[in-house]
Amino acid sequence: MAIRTAVIGAGTMGKVHLEHLTKMDEVEVVGLVDPYEQTLKATAEKYQVSATYGEIDTMLSDQHPDYVVVASPVRYHTAQAVAAFNAGAHV
């Protein structure tokens, strides 16, 4: 059974994580979150992530990931990590 994983942040660090996550057989990337649509679409296309979101809460309620990688700018980490924890995901 694959670990349902979501990545928050489609910039440089998100891409670093996606590069590795997409090569792991035990991981299924179920969602990608970024407020910048152009970056979000380009990154999702490159790493073949079909579910994209402009904000975290919608992704959490739609996808119910087991695990969330927070790869956004540091100032957003606390709120995003707490939201993911509250949704039942590991961070």
How confident is residue 62, by pLDDT bands cut at 50, 70 and 90? very high
Pairing of strands 27-33, 67-70: unpaired
Chain mean pLDDT for the chain: 98
On the question of pLDDT at 23 being above 90, the answer is: yes
Find the mean pLDDT for residues 38-60. 98
Contact 27, 21 (CB under 8 A): yes
Q: What span, in angstroms and rounded, lies between the C-alpha atoms of 39 and 2? A: 26
How confident is residue 49, by pLDDT bands cut at 50, 70 and 90? very high
Judge if pTM exceeds 0.85.
yes
Q: What is the DSSP letter of 48?
A: T
| N residues, the chain | 91
How confident is residue 60, by pLDDT bands cut at 50, 70 and 90? very high
How confident is residue 1, by pLDDT bands cut at 50, 70 and 90? confident
Closest CA to 87 of 62, 67, 69, 60: 60
